[in-house]
Amino acid sequence: MQSNRTCAVELICFVSLLGVAQASAEMPLGDKTLVVWVSPANLTQAGGTALTVNDTTIDRFDGVVFAEIEPQVWMPGSNGYSRTNKEQADWSKETTGPDQFVQMAIVYEGHQITMYRNGELYAEYATSGQPYAFGANTAILFGPRHLSKGVDCFFGRMRDARVYAEPLDGETIAAMEPGKPIDGVEPWAWWDFATAGTYDKAGRFNQIRLSGGAKIEDGCLVLSGTRPTMLATIDRDGLSTAAIPTQWSKSDPVPASVVQSTRLLREKLLDDPYRPGYHFCVPEDNGRPGDANGCFYANGRYHLMYLYNRNGVGFSWGHISSKDLVHWRHHPDAIGPGDGDEGCFSGGGFVDDDGTAYLSYWMLWGDKGIGVAKSTDRHYDRWQKLEANPVIKSTEWGITETTDEDGKLLIYGSADPTNIWKKDGKYYILTGNLLVLNKYGRKPDSPDDMKGDRLYLLESEDLGNWSYKGVFYERNPKWTEDSEDNMCPSFLPLPASPDGGQPSGKHLLLFISHNKGCQYYVGDYDTENDKFASDNHGRMSWVDNTYFAPEALVDDDGRQIMWAWLTDNPGGEAEKGWSGVYGLPRSLWLGDDGTLRMRPVKEFQTLRSDEKTWKDITLADGETKTLDGVVGESCELDITIDSATAKQYGVKVRVSADGEEETLLYCDAESQKLCFDSTRSGIDGRRTLEQAPLVLKDGEQLELRVFVDKSVVEIYANDRQAICRRVYPGRDDSLGVVLFAIGGQASISSVKAWEMMPSNPY
């Protein structure tokens, strides 16, 4: 382990390498205010800083120091205590826990120093030492209280930190909120870690170094590990020689280096052999988890949210909208960390009668619960979280334990809420059961009513206060296993046609189990007793959980349309600059036999070009037919097979010239299954055989619709079944499309193929 002396020397050398602050008309920094929202990791630590202004060439500093003289007491730290009152026995001791934030502020005005805690006076005194003005060699420091040897470090989290080049009064300080500016008062330096990471929103400090375990995580600067440090300085040569900022605010001028970097990123994404051209992709950053969330239809547009882990901020909901389900406009992120939560996990969308849109979501982390955000502007660009959040309170992570009016114990989930719906003037929502199952239902002797999947119904009159109504449906153990949970649910009326129209009278409950992926129930919603009775159950994922996290809406035509996240995430995604892909939006409706039907929405036909056709193809046992001229990395196929004696018949895609790489899509007549064989698909991803039940009636044709989009392949059969997966060919020539039959003959009456033009911007 390095000594304190070694670390201090490294810090001082680092400052020398970076250069020093340029003198300006604003310098020196004399009267000032330091403000920081901070959460100590523990109350036994001593001597570190939550925020320090430091001269880099001489031992001079002013900082918000914790417990250097008195345990649990904040103090204005300074070199040799020259501006510090050492009589602190009567100062209040800190009591905040590691999951709570406290605002600390120090005002320097001549010899007068005043300290505030959460806007209330904490300490005040006149210093005997002379005030110090920080000049042309200034740094901002988090962690070690100053740049010198043998310095203690602070451990904890900072949400927001600021320096003002003027003394502020207590009223102004009390009115401050993390992440929000104060009218008429411009910060001299400002780190809003939740929205801008390490970037100084005041634009002054352009060199940042994190070391010793310091990191940006869940919207905070986190100081943990060994000697965690964040050091901010200014390069004397200006931005032209500074590194490209890792974070910067949308309210700031755009640095030229960022423009260049953005262009290079677009070009890199366009050159990525696995980034789809017409399936939705998270535009950049870490879409893992990348659940589809909060979709709704309003004002002639489809709105869709996507969960992603925003670098330097935390789990947020990106927001896109479209007129045609094919081309998407990007909006500002809808919700993210802040306003009582540390991030946002999955949930649903709902539009009320007055046009107000609501998002229901799972608040992170710990015993928070379910939150709601609303938007009233026409394009739904600005969202406001309800002051009542959490509107459904957890007692621990994802679980609510309480009692009814008779004192009986009630246990229900407070995770992954559905879309809200409205009935007879009241609002309803369902919550998921993963954490309840984990705690109460995983053991062999667990109660039956705690095993397997279930949802919990809650009711509200105002969206802010919710009451528990009970378990929403009775699980059938013949359909799902005891190990399966119910999360990411969606509950909507099911139309009788792929084009919408009047509802069928049945409802569709989409959901996932984390171990088995996407599945659904079709059944009746008993509106008098608020219970759901399922007629049948089906899956959209069989061998693993690649097809995951469904989300659905009903549009103005009455169509129910769903999306799902493809969880197959290969290694090295961070280096690629993006992750997160959705399957094509599917239109869902009720078949004549009471089971679910599905097909891609018709809008994607607008991407078709260069149609090619083949008719009356007969394949003998073991025979193949190459479809010449098909664009093998971006195409749609429509294949109609009249009859077959073959045991296996269908199409191979992404086939290399010598057959080393291939993806097989076919019907297995003996097992009566639709099959997706990716065991030889390429060099990465989940290479496996996935099989979905598919029983053809006597004399029924098999119609296969296949979509290939670089790393995404989807196959649909007779509107009754579908499989969607990702593949990662390693060869540039894996572009072939080949019909085949094994174990008998296949008569193919028609094949149509189209090149699919890309619709993603990059």
Over residues 562-580, the mean pLDDT reads 90
pLDDT over 50 (residue 565): yes
Handedness of CA 8, 11, 15, 21 (dihedral sign): negative
Of the given ranges (5-19, 197-211, 328-342), which has the lowest mean pLDDT? 5-19
pLDDT over 70 (residue 60): yes
CB neighbour burial string for 230-243, b if at least 16 within 10 angstroms, e if fewer: bbbbbbeeebeebe
Burial class of 160 by CB neighbour count within 10 A (0 to 12, 13 to 18, 19+): buried
| Structure confidence at residue 245 (pLDDT) | 56
pLDDT over 60 (residue 181): yes
| Structure confidence at residue 180 (pLDDT) | 92
Mean pLDDT, the chain, integer? 92
395 neighbors 349 (Cβ within 8 angstroms): no
User: Global pTM?
Assistant: 0.72
Return the C-alpha torsion angle 33, 99, 363, 486, nearest 10.
Answer: 160
Q: Measure the N-to-C terminal CA separation of the chain; round to a whole number of Å.
A: 46
349 neighbors 303 (Cβ within 8 angstroms): yes
CA distance 507 to 590: 9
Check residue 449 and report its DSSP letter: G
The CA-atom distances, in angstroms, between 356 and each of 226, 252, 272, 460, 612 are 49, 31, 39, 17, 47
Burial class of 94 by CB neighbour count within 10 A (0 to 12, 13 to 18, 19+): middle
468 neighbors 395 (Cβ within 8 angstroms): no
pLDDT over 50 (residue 268): yes
Q: Is the preceding peptide bond at 390 cis, omega within 30 degrees of 0?
A: yes
Over residues 543-567, the mean pLDDT reads 97
Handedness of CA 496, 523, 438, 347 (dihedral sign): positive
The CA-atom distances, in angstroms, between 79 and each of 82, 127, 137, 304, 667 are 6, 13, 16, 54, 78
Q: Which residue has the higher pLDDT, 59 or 713?
A: 713
Handedness of CA 275, 278, 283, 288 (dihedral sign): negative
| Structure confidence at residue 247 (pLDDT) | 58
| Structure confidence at residue 40 (pLDDT) | 96
The CA-atom distances, in angstroms, between 332 and each of 80, 204, 358, 405, 584 are 48, 25, 16, 44, 23
Nearest alpha carbon to residue 415 among 368, 453, 452? 368
pLDDT over 50 (residue 239): no
The CA-atom distances, in angstroms, between 112 and each of 66, 165, 486 are 20, 15, 60
Strand partners, 716: 705, 722
Q: Is the preceding peptide bond at 365 cis, omega within 30 degrees of 0?
A: yes
| Structure confidence at residue 18 (pLDDT) | 33
Residue 725 sits at φ, ψ, to 5 deg, of: -145, 175
Check residue 314 and report its DSSP letter: E
CA angle in degrees (0–180, nearest 5) for 201-207-212: 105
Q: Which residue has the higher pLDDT, 335 or 571?
A: 335
Say whether 695 sits in a helix, a strand or coil. coil
| Structure confidence at residue 84 (pLDDT) | 95
Identify residue 506 by its one-letter amino acid code: K
| Structure confidence at residue 191 (pLDDT) | 95
Over residues 525-532, the mean pLDDT reads 96
CA distance 6 to 150: 9
| Structure confidence at residue 235 (pLDDT) | 63
61 neighbors 133 (Cβ within 8 angstroms): no
Two tokens at 303?
Answer: 């709105």
Question: How far does Cα 9 stand from its chain's mean position?
Answer: 40
DSSP of 181-218: -BTTB--SEEEEHHHHTT--TTS---EEEEETT-EEET
Identify residue 223 by its one-letter amino acid code: L
Two tokens at 162?
Answer: 């600021």
pLDDT over 80 (residue 676): yes
The model's confidence at residue 207, banded by pLDDT at 50, 70 and 90, is confident
The model's confidence at residue 237, banded by pLDDT at 50, 70 and 90, is very low
228 neighbors 212 (Cβ within 8 angstroms): yes
DSSP of 29-94: B-SEEEEEEEEES-SS--SEEEEEEEETTTTEEEEEEESSSSTT-EEEEEGGGTT-----TTSPPP
| Structure confidence at residue 248 (pLDDT) | 62
| Structure confidence at residue 137 (pLDDT) | 82
CA angle in degrees (0–180, nearest 5) for 499-504-506: 125
Domains detected in the chain: 4-238 (2.60.120.200), 272-600 (2.115.10.20), 608-756 (2.60.120.560)
pLDDT over 60 (residue 512): yes
CA distance 259 to 526: 56
**Residue listed under structure tokens 């052999």:** 273
pLDDT over 80 (residue 685): yes
270 neighbors 528 (Cβ within 8 angstroms): no
Residue 567 falls in which region: left (phi positive, over 0), alpha (psi -120 to 50) or beta: alpha
CA distance 170 to 117: 10
Element (H, E) at 598: strand 596-600
| Structure confidence at residue 59 (pLDDT) | 86
* Percent of the chain at pLDDT exceeding 70: 94
**Residue listed under structure tokens 């892909």:** 581
Residue 161 half-sphere exposure toward CB, CA atoms < 13 A: 27
For the chain, the farthest-separated pair of C-alpha atoms sits apart, in whole angstroms, at: 100
Over residues 75-102, the mean pLDDT reads 93
Two tokens at 81?
Answer: 């205590």
389 neighbors 371 (Cβ within 8 angstroms): yes
pLDDT over 60 (residue 240): no
174 neighbors 120 (Cβ within 8 angstroms): yes
Over residues 334-348, the mean pLDDT reads 94
Over residues 422-447, the mean pLDDT reads 96
Q: Which residue has the higher pLDDT, 671 or 218?
A: 671
Handedness of CA 338, 339, 344, 348 (dihedral sign): negative
pLDDT over 80 (residue 296): yes
For the chain, how big is the Rg over CA atoms in Å?
A: 30
The model's confidence at residue 367, banded by pLDDT at 50, 70 and 90, is very high
pLDDT over 60 (residue 243): no
Handedness of CA 235, 238, 241, 245 (dihedral sign): positive
| Structure confidence at residue 254 (pLDDT) | 79
